[in-house]
Structure 1
């Protein structure tokens, strides 16, 4: 889990997950601004690159539940949300760790989009990280953070209200849905941590936890999309089987971490799993109508990348898989070195941490 300070200040220096989410958001929104040739992006461009709209769920455009949160209407919209994320996002990541922070962030983003979609009676298009950042506020309230972090988090509603004054088209359904999702997801994660202390009794380094969470998320999305299209089995059976498999994998990783040099072996295995996910994803994309029909919505970098991929999917997938392995090994280099030098202390420290802490 995350490290704690006895007296955290009003402003917490952002950590890895906050930096990563902010970087991806700024790059995605900036890309749209560059395409538009100004500090604002038109609706047509936002729709093409992932804006959430009224019939997205009915058309199974589930990828928009995530993509919309990385796009913004203009520079002020982007700056306001990123200021909220920087101002108090570090408090939550310090409190729950990067893995749970990312889970809460994306849960708020997805549920905010679903609630926003349900509250719209007319066609709409929405973008922005407001639902996700509102979810972090809900999570801070749920986990009972310190007074200083809560005083910092109160700046978020003020910023949102200030933005609402300047923009009458603000989507309050996304804000409220994200807030509720952050509140609920943080409470559920706290329950999972408490149950883990009595059932699975596992404790992982944050790098391992983040990678496992990402792999579980990708697998869950793949099962969800496949289930929605094929209806092979009842949804509850698929969900139950997915949970059982996840628990089995978690316990196997925990057992591997308990042996000497197990941490290095687990990191290398995760790098291989990341490459396998990329390979399977490339194979699935190559078989879709996007490559079979080669239909393009217009000239642009995304369409050029799609055409390059469809022209030689095997080579592009292999290159991306190599990049995934390389990034995993580079980002986890400290843990790999720690695992290689391990003479039995890693497992002992994780067992001590497991016995010392329960819940968030």
Structure 2
């Protein structure tokens, strides 16, 4: 019998975990559907019920649903965006930093970091508004969750690869990158430089209204809140993974 030549396997164009593609697809589907199906009144209602409104904490009676939407809007605001440019930027950032987190921690890990980061960003934004002159804001966008994935990636993407030996052949085997301690992240010059640059950029955004004389509606406080949550979460995820591996 003649051998049948095997077709070479094709590498995917984008080697992105499925959970990242699902998140991106969901964001785009929601935004396109809202853009095509809702008028200004409908879009306003969508944001009232699913965007995060910190003013509900202090003036719940003035809003439809009272304080009840606070149970879900800390998460659902991450799937709403102001416009296509806002969505495009968050999509690109999600793909870049969500991919390494997805490869390391899987679907559950990505969702945990993304959703908890979105919630942390919303809560930090609320705290910031309590000491700000501007006491009102409607928070929407994936930036808090994406910032959390960025923070989580800082714990390992700049760390050295752990190499072991195959017990049978003795060949070197790459086991992946170790998770840095919180202190280690700031000792490593590459992760430290990235974090300083990232924080500096967000602080610059915060001072933009004073520099440019314009109201730049970017929730930079939510970015920082999500980023800090992301820095902390790999310690929890690694601990859960070790517990599951115990006999």
TM-score normalised to structure 2 length: 0.63
CA-CA distance at 1:112 after TM superposition? 1.2
Paired position in structure 2 for 1:13? 15
1:169 corresponds to which of 217, 222, 226: 217
Q: Does the alignment pair 1:74 with 2:74?
A: no
Paired position in structure 1 for 2:47? 47
Structure 2 CA distance, aligned partners of 1:25 and 1:189? 25
Paired position in structure 2 for 1:181? 229
Paired position in structure 2 for 1:85? 94
Paired position in structure 2 for 1:104? 113
**Which runs of 5 or more structure 1 residues have no equivalent in the other structure?**
1-10, 202-360
Higher relative contact order (CA 8 A, sep 6+): 2
Name the structure where helix makes up a greater proportion of residues: 1
Structure 2 CA distance, aligned partners of 1:81 and 1:46? 20
CA deviation profile, 1:16-70 (whole Å, cap 9, x unmatched): 10011111111112222224569xx997245235111123356132111111100
Paired position in structure 2 for 1:145? 157
**Which runs of 5 or more structure 2 residues have no equivalent in the other structure?**
1-12, 61-66, 161-176, 178-189, 209-213
Task: Check 1:42–1:60 CA distance in 2 against 1; reply closer, same or farther (3 A cut).
Answer: closer
Task: Check 1:12–1:23 CA distance in 2 against 1; reply closer, same or farther (3 A cut).
Answer: closer
Structure 2 CA distance, aligned partners of 1:119 and 1:181? 16
Contact 1:33 1:74 (C-alpha < 8 Å) held by counterparts = no
Q: Does the alignment pair 1:193 with 2:241?
A: yes
How many pairs does the alignment contain?
182
Contact 1:111 1:178 (C-alpha < 8 Å) held by counterparts = yes
Q: Does the alignment pair 1:120 with 2:99?
A: no
Over the residues paired in the alignment, what is the CA RMSD in angstroms? Answer: 3.5
* Shift >4 Å, 4+ stretches: 146-151, 154-158, 163-167
Structure 1 CA distance, aligned partners of 2:107 and 2:215? 32
Paired position in structure 2 for 1:267? none
Paired position in structure 1 for 2:25? 23
Structure 1 CA distance, aligned partners of 2:18 and 2:49? 26
Q: How does 1:248-259 map to 2 (within 5 A)?
A: none
